[in-house]
A and B are shown apart, each in its own frame.
Chain A
Amino acid sequence: MIRIEHLTRRFHDLVAVDDVSLDVAEGDVLGFLGPNGAGKSTAMRILAGFLPASSGRAQVAGFDVAGDSLRVRQHIGYLPENVPLPPDARVDEYLEFRARLKEVPATRRLAARERVLQDCGLVPMRRRIIGQLSRGYRQRVGLADALISEPPVLILDEPTGGLDPAQRQEVLDLVASFRGRRTVLLSSHVLAEVEHACSRVAIIQRGRIVAQGTKAELEASAGRRGEIAVRARGAGPRLCAALQSRGLAPRAEPDPDAFVVRLERDADAAPLLAALVAAGLPVDAFRPLERTLHDIFLDLTRAPAP
C-alpha cells in the first residue's frame, strides 16, 4: 500500500531523508522509529503530499505522491506532528468541516462523525471549543480527523506525543486494532509504543533506514548479548567476590545483591551456575539477558556519525 523507492529530501545542504526505500503491505502497521530529527516527519510529509521529494519515488495506494497528489490525499488520513488545529472551532463542527473537505458523502457524514467521536473517546467533548481542550483531547481530535473518511492508509506522526501514559495506551490500542484492516505508518521515538502497536519496525537514523523487519527478525539478526544476570539474596559482596575469582567482571545492578556478567560462550553458563551453588551462595536468579529491540535501537541510533 505504501511503497517508497530511494526517496531523498534535501534542505539546502542538509539531507533530511537519505535514499530511503520502504514497503508497507496492506493491513500492516509499520512503526517508524528514530530519535528526534532523524527524518521521520519529513518522510511522512512527503507521503502526505505536503512536501516534494528531492529525488526518488513514493506511491500510496497505487498512486504516485508527486504526480497524483490529490488521489493520494483522498486515500490517506494524516496526523501531523504536534496536531495543529484551529483553536476557534468546536470539535463536532471541525470534524464536519473535515468530512466535507474529504468528500465524505452527505448521507454518511453524520454516521462517520459519530463513529470517530466514539472511537476516539470524544463524545463528552463534542461541543467544546478546540482551543480549550487539553493536549490529550486535541490529539484525539487530530486522530478523529485522520479517521473520518475511513482512509485505507493512515500516516500518523507521533500520535502519542504529549500524552500521559493512560492516553498513550488508549491511542496505541486504537492503532493496534487497525492491524489487518488498515495500512498504518506510525512514527515514534519511543520504542515501547512501536513494540506494542506495530507488526513491523523500521529504524531511521540521520535520514537513513538502518534496520527494518518484524520485531522477531530484528532481534534474531542482532544476536544475543551473551550476558547473564545473577542474584544471590543477602549475599551481594560474596557473590561479587565469587564472580571475580572466576575471572569475570561483574557489573553492579540497582539491586545490591545482583550483578551482570558477560560470558564468552553460552556453554559457560551452566558450569558458572553450578560453581556458584557449590560455593554455597543462595542464588535465586540466574537469567540470560535477551537482546531486546531496545538494545538494537540504542546501538543503531547511538552509532557515531560517519
Chain B
Amino acid sequence: MKKKQTPSQTVGPFFAYGLTPEQYDYDLTSIAVPEVGGQDVEGERIRIEGQVFDGEGAPIGDAMIEIWQADAAGRYAHSADGRGSNANFTGFGRVGTGTDPQQRFFFETIRPGAVGNGQAPHVNVVVFMRGMLSHAYTRIYFPENAKAHASDPVLSSVPAERRETLIAQLDESGAIRVYRFDIHMQGPQETVFFDV
C-alpha cells in the first residue's frame, strides 16, 4: 500500500528543552550532545565550530545542527556498514546555537576516516531552524585533503566555484585542532545544500 511522505515543518524557536535540553540546562536527559567522541574513543580529537548566517549576514541564534560521521577508521556505527564500527563511538552529535554569546555551534569529536567509494573524509550535517520549513543537508570536508577532494564524487558534483563552502578552515592556534565551518543560508558565500 503506497503512502505519501509526511510533510516537514519548521523546528520553530522553542526546540531547546525538547531536543537539546542538557545544553540549555533544562531538566531532561539529552539523547545527543555536542561532545561526540568520549575519552575511550580512538582517533584524533578535533573541534568543529561555526556560525549560521542569514541573508543579511546576521548570526542565527535559534538553529540546531546535527552531525553524523564515521569513526577514525571510516566506519559508521550502523548495521548497513558491514565492517562494524568502534563500539564506543556513536558518530552522532546535536547542538543548538542559542547558548553561545556569538551564536556559535560546536562539536567535540574525532577526525573521521575515509568511508570508501572514493569519498574524502567528511562529516554529514543537517541544519534546522525557525524559518526553515524543511531541513537542509550539507557536508564538512577538511582542508588538508585537497588531493582527495579532487576525486571525491560529491565535491566533483558541486560547481567548482561553490566547493569551498563545504571545506572547513583550520585554526591551529590552540591545543587541539579547531575547524571553522560557517553556514551561510544566502548570499555570495551561500553554503551548498544537497538533495540527499
Q: Do A and B come from the same complex? A: no
Binding site for B on A (CB under 8 A): none
Binding site for A on B (CB under 8 A): none
